[in-house]
């Protein structure tokens, strides 16, 4: 039976190619394969080999794996798509994109993106003061832009003016009128011309989780009246020549291409009208929002997008061109701030399943005893009543179970009786579910049995640390086994983490093009590790984690592809995760003190003769070793 399962069946089930964007696929050997370089698809890396090498290096699960080649590929694809489209369209402006570092601020990520983007003068975007401090140090390409968004104080604006002194193309995007007044005052004080951008509050309403980023009630941006006032204000202060850019951002993960078209039309029209008023704008910044097809459905659901990158770029380039041609205005240089689209694919979390919580798997002797209560014998009859209509059998089982609980509360049934009732009940349900056919599956209540019977696989990680959005906003992230994909997955289960929080579980899975509450995985084998991967965690998830249950950051493994290496890859760097000590210290604990207190208690027991001295020393060492060690399960 198991032999009949093929990797194509796994592909149909898990949809790897659909969300994998050419980077991930299932190999003939049933392992996940990674082709991280879009220019060299023949270089493929077997995830099982990566994990083997990690083991050899002594790395424990969970760990983040970063494929730097995927980051580079995404930067190249976006820039080249713009270059090619601009060429074909006869568009007269340039594309000068920036990467918004809030999406993943890891230094190694930012460095890799800048390096891959250098030939295209790809720049950076900052949205806060600390981010500005980082981009100031890292983006020193005089031809690349630095875009400054977010609310600003004097220090933030002064830092931007320092950037101008250093000949950087640093553009301050004004989100609020008062920022403009502050900027004008500081520019006069420090005697340097700022480059000014104006962020427009857009009328188009995007859909999805971030729809409040646009419209009248948006938190950021200037209304049309405020923009006109800003122009007047700059004129009065003899600084109109500093107005260089018009900015908009209607939200992240835009799922519907029509909203993008509408926004481009609105933004380009506003740009053209401002230029006609004599504002010397050179750049139109279309913000972020380029989506990721997390669920692989190519639809307008929140976790997908109904367009390709080519389509997005074409709609932007041709859209701006058409309006500017109609209005008789020069084509602006186009800026975009794609973050999610650049980083989502490059990292994943790998971990292992450390246990199973199953309602049907409990072994308990249910054999009859003389003089047992009639509820038990009734329930036992149902266990073998395969000929009964499933609905009737289910109703009876549920009724007996309810009565049994009542009887237990009244002291009529014993605890052993209840254990038998419970065991039989789940056996019956599981039996009913296994025997459902096309007709009986139509009965909703019986079809729903699938969810109540599903096991929980306990995975060694914290959702709050590694996939905050799956919990906070119901984001879907593909989560699948990394091996055995040539075997039939026979256990329906959901994935729960090791935090002490009932919310610590994944509630959405991709199953055969649909969203399910649980998913088939393989039977766990004794003595064999079952490794799973949570994919597309490179945007936001990587850097959003919290300290829930004090788990802290994961160990990271940075991988480069190389065709001279065995397995076509090498581990370039290992960044150790947070130790227990480190996360405790962020919560103001003094771990030296803690170790001392524990040692004292151990010493006291030694003095009392309750512990052998040698044993006591071992316990002291053990406590200290755990402080220095991993927060996750070993
Ligand atoms: C968050 C943000 C972005 C990045 O958006 P993505 O959807 O990740 O591309 C770009 N610009 C601004 C102003 C943002 O706030």
Q: Which of 592, 570, 611 is nearest to 45 (CA)?
A: 570
For residue range 363-372, what is the model confidence (pLDDT) as tens digits?
899 999 999 9
Task: Please give the Cα distance from 110 to 144 (Å, whole number).
Answer: 14
Mean pLDDT of all residues in 325-331: 98
- What does pLDDT average to over the chain? 93
Maximum average pLDDT range among 147-151, 210-214, 357-361:
147-151
Structure tokens at 94: 């340039």
- Print burial letters for 283-319: b (CB count within 10 Å at least 16), e (below 16): bbbbbbbbbbbbbbbeebbbbbbbbebeebbbbbbbb
Quickly count: other Cβ atoms within 10 Å of residue 412's Cβ: 13
Mean pLDDT of all residues in 309-338: 98
Atom number in ligand 1 closest to CA 254: 7
| 337 three-class SS | coil
Question: Ligand 1: residues whose CB is within 6 Å?
Answer: 100, 102-103, 127, 149, 249, 252-253, 287-290, 337-341
Q: Which of 289, 309, 539 to mutate to test the pocket of ligand 1 (most atoms within 8 A of CB)?
A: 289
For residue range 427-460, what is the model confidence (pLDDT) as tens digits?
999 999 989 999 998 998 888 888 889 999 999 9
Atom number in ligand 1 closest to CA 287: 11
Distance 278 CA to ligand 1 centre (A): 29
Atom number in ligand 1 closest to CA 149: 13
pTM score:
0.90
Structure tokens at 459: 């995975």
Q: Which of 131, 145, 248, 252 to mutate to test the pocket of ligand 1 (most atoms within 8 A of CB)?
A: 252
Mean pLDDT of all residues in 278-301: 96
The domain limits of the chain are: 7-56, 93-338, 582-628
Distance 68 CA to ligand 1 centre (A): 21
Distance 339 CA to ligand 1 centre (A): 6
Counted residue by residue, the chain has a size of 634
Atom number in ligand 1 closest to CA 291: 7
Q: For position 3, what pLDDT does the model report?
A: 59
Task: Please give the Cα distance from 234 to 174 (Å, whole number).
Answer: 12
Distance 337 CA to ligand 1 centre (A): 6
Q: Which of 291, 337, 473 to mutate to test the pocket of ligand 1 (most atoms within 8 A of CB)?
A: 337
Distance 40 CA to ligand 1 centre (A): 30
Query: Higher pLDDT residue, 32 or 632?
Result: 32
Confidence label for 592 from pLDDT (cuts 50, 70 and 90): very high
Distance 175 CA to ligand 1 centre (A): 14
Lowest mean pLDDT among 197-211, 218-232, 471-485, 530-544: 197-211
Q: For position 169, what pLDDT does the model report?
A: 96
Confidence label for 503 from pLDDT (cuts 50, 70 and 90): confident
Atom number in ligand 1 closest to CA 173: 13
Q: Cis omega (within 30 of 0) on the bond before 313? A: no
| 343 three-class SS | helix
| 323 three-class SS | helix
Distance 591 CA to ligand 1 centre (A): 39
Residues 6+ apart with CB under 8 A from 56: none
Q: For position 220, what pLDDT does the model report?
A: 85
Task: Please give the Cα distance from 326 to 216 (Å, whole number).
Answer: 27
Question: Over 90: is that where the pLDDT of 94 sits?
Answer: yes
Q: What is the DSSP string of 41-72?
A: TT--EEHHHHHHHHHHTT--SSEEEEEHHHHH
Distance 103 CA to ligand 1 centre (A): 8
Atom number in ligand 1 closest to CA 220: 13
Residues 6+ apart with CB under 8 A from 80: none
For residue range 99-135, what is the model confidence (pLDDT) as tens digits?
999 999 999 999 999 999 999 999 999 999 989 999 9
Chosen CATH of 93-338 out of 3.20.20.10, 3.40.50.720, 3.40.1110.10, 1.20.1260.10: 3.20.20.10
Tell me which residue has its CA closest to atom 10 in ligand 1.
288
Distance 130 CA to ligand 1 centre (A): 17
Q: For position 551, what pLDDT does the model report?
A: 83
Distance 586 CA to ligand 1 centre (A): 29
Task: Please give the Cα distance from 103 to 99 (Å, whole number).
Answer: 9
Distance 73 CA to ligand 1 centre (A): 20
Task: Please give the Cα distance from 231 to 314 (Å, whole number).
Answer: 31
Q: For position 362, what pLDDT does the model report?
A: 80
Q: For position 360, what pLDDT does the model report?
A: 82
Atom number in ligand 1 closest to CA 539: 8
Q: For position 470, what pLDDT does the model report?
A: 85
């Amino acid at each position: 039976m198991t032999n009949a399962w093929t990797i194509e069946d796994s592909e149909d089930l898990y949809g790897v190619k659909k969300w994998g964007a050419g980077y991930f696929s299932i190999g003939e050997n049933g392992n996940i394969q990674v082709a991280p370089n879009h220019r060299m698809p023949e270089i493929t890396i077997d995830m099982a080999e990566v994990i083997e090498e990690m083991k050899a290096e002594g790395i424990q699960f969970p760990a983040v794996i970063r494929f730097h080649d995927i980051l580079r590929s995404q930067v190249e694809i976006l820039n080249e798509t713009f270059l090619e489209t601009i060429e074909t369209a006869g568009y007269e402006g340039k594309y000068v994109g920036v990467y918004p570092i809030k999406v993943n601020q890891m230094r190694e990520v930012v460095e890799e993106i800048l390096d891959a983007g250098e030939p295209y003068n790809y720049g950076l975007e900052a949205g806060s003061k600390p981010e500005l401090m980082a981009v100031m140090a890292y983006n020193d390409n005089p031809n690349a832009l630095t875009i400054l968004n977010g609310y600003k104080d004097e220090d933030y604006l002064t830092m931007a003016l320092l950037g101008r002194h250093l000949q950087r193309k640093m553009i301050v995007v004004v989100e609020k009128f008062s920022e403009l007044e502050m900027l004008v005052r500081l520019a006069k004080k420090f005697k340097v011309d700022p480059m000014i951008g104006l962020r427009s509050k857009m009328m188009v309403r995007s859909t999805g989780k971030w729809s409040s980023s646009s419209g009248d009630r948006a938190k950021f941006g200037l209304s049309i009246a405020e923009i006109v006032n800003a122009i007047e204000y700059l004129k009065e202060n003899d600084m109109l020549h500093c107005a260089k850019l018009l900015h908009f951002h209607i939200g992240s993960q835009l799922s519907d291409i029509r909203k993008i078209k509408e926004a481009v039309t609105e933004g380009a029209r506003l740009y053209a009208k401002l230029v006609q008023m004599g504002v010397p704008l050179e750049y139109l910044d279309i913000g972020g929002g380029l989506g990721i097809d997390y669920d692989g459905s190519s639809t307008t659901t929140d976790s997908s997008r109904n367009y390709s990158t080519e389509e997005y770029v074409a709609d932007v380039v041709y859209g701006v061109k058409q309006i500017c041609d109609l209005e008789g205005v020069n084509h602006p240089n186009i800026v975009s701030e794609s973050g999610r689209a650049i980083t989502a694919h490059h990292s994943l979390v790998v971990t292992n399943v450390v246990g199973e919580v199953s309602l049907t798997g409990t072994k308990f002797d249910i054999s009859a005893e003389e003089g047992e209560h009639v509820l038990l014998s009734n329930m036992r009859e149902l266990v073998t009543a395969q000929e009964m209509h499933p609905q009737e059998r289910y109703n009876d089982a549920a009724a007996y179970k309810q009565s049994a609980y009542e009887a237990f509360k009244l002291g009529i049934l014993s605890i052993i009786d209840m254990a038998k009732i419970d065991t039989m009940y789940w056996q019956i349900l599981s039996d009913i579910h296994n025997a459902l056919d096309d007709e009986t599956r139509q009965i909703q209540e019986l079809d729903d049995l699938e969810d109540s019977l599903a096991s929980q696989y306990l995975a060694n990680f914290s959702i709050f640390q590694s996939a905050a959005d799956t919990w906070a906003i119901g984001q879907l992230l593909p989560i699948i086994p990394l091996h055995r994909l040539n075997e039939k997955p026979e256990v329906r289960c959901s994935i729960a983490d090791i935090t002490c929080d009932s919310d610590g579980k994944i509630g959405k899975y991709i199953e055969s093009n649909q969203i399910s509450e649980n998913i088939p995985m393989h039977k766990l084998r004794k003595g064999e590790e079952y490794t799973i991967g949570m994919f597309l965690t490179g945007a936001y998830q990587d850097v959003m984690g919290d300290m829930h249950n004090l788990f802290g950051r994961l160990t990271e493994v940075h991988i480069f592809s190389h065709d001279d290496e065995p397995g076509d890859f090498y581990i370039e760097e290992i960044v150790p995760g947070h130790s227990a000590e480190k996360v405790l210290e962020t919560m103001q604990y003094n771990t030296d003190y803690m170790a001392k207190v524990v040692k004292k208690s151990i010493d006291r027991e030694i003095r009392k003769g309750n512990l052998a001295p040698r044993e006591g020393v071992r316990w002291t060492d053990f406590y200290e070793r755990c402080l220095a060690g991993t927060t996750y399960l070993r």
